[in-house]
Amino acid sequence: MPEVPVHGNFRRYYGMRNARAAARAQKDEVYVTRDDIDERVACLLAWLAQHSTEVRRIERILDVGCNAAKPLLELCQLLPTPPKYVLGVDIDAELVEQARSALRQAWCERKPRATETTVDVMQYFPGCFSSLLRPLPFAPESTDAFPARVHFVQGDWPQMAADPEGFDLVLCLAVTKWIHLNQGDDGLFLCLSKLAAQVRPGGLVAIEIQPWRSYEQARSLSKELRASHAQLRIQPDDIEWILERLGLVTLGTIGQGTGQGFQRALTLCQRAKATEAGKGRVETVPLFTVRPNK
């Protein structure tokens, strides 16, 4: 019997949410053409291009609940400057393996940049060769090449140790509902607190918050989720307010999903730049503080 995706760990997820990719959903491949990338990645890239002087350089990226990592890998390949360190975390070991396979496939199919015209560079590995022969070996860890800096880990991110270096960009795409239903208000608050703490000063959080109405369908997946749903006090509409109390500034909505049932906003938040007086400090928020005007 197929495993019930009680953590939102759906297979073929990107085909479900992206109408343009639905016809290709049998493989969940990674595409890096501008016309067919994940709409959330397209919105984020457009925003970063328009506000490049207002945010810190994206050198370290974290993807919480990365699934098979299609958006993350597209983002890494399309950023003007490749990031130096990328970490994708998912609770599902099978999805983590899919993400690693997608990384290898993306590496094999990576074409030279338009400015690279030497003979050696232009003789890149044709995409079909990874199927006809075998995938290319990854570049050595010591290089700054695209795949060597991308890592995938299986685990429950809110419960994992924090990265002491922090991140310039944290992706939290369609994850909050599943953490909320599985770990309750405490678990959601822990996740949001950790998101805020892991963002470097001037860094960004791109968060796709699932609305309360979507909880109704999700809770039907198991009796445990139904029981948890009945105990929840925090609402999805509270999440931005909580993040602001934790030291982030909401910059606004930068995009909207387009797939059937996935018309959700992508919200961008920024960690205030550090000052000597309050460097590294975030406000402590009591878990059940009543939100004003609610």
Task: Tell me the per-residue pLDDT of 58-91, one tens digit each, with 9 for 90 and over.
Answer: 999 999 999 999 999 999 989 999 899 999 999 9
- What separation, in Å, do the N-terminal and C-terminal C-alpha atoms of the chain show? 43
The CATH code of the domain that includes 220 is 3.40.50.150
Residue that wins the pLDDT comparison between 106 and 184: 184
The pLDDT score that the predictor gives to residue 257 is 60
Does residue 286 fall inside a structural domain?
A: no
The pLDDT score that the predictor gives to residue 10 is 54
Does the pLDDT at position 194 exceed 50?
Answer: yes
Does the pLDDT at position 46 exceed 50?
Answer: yes
The pLDDT score that the predictor gives to residue 172 is 97
The closest alpha carbon to 194, from 223, 229, 155, belongs to: 155
Does residue 142 fall inside a structural domain?
A: yes
Q: Give the domain range for residue 200.
A: 13-271
Does residue 3 fall inside a structural domain?
A: no
Does the pLDDT at position 216 exceed 80?
Answer: yes
Task: For residues 249 and 26, give the distance between their C-alpha atoms in angstroms, rounded to a whole number.
Answer: 39
Does residue 151 fall inside a structural domain?
A: yes
pLDDT band at 22 (very low <50, low <70, confident <90, very high): very low
Does residue 217 fall inside a structural domain?
A: yes
The pLDDT score that the predictor gives to residue 54 is 85
Strongest mean pLDDT among 1-15, 111-125, 138-152: 138-152
The residue-averaged pLDDT of 21-43 equals 60
Does residue 32 fall inside a structural domain?
A: yes
The domain total for the chain is: 1
The pLDDT score that the predictor gives to residue 256 is 72
Does the pLDDT at position 104 exceed 90?
Answer: no
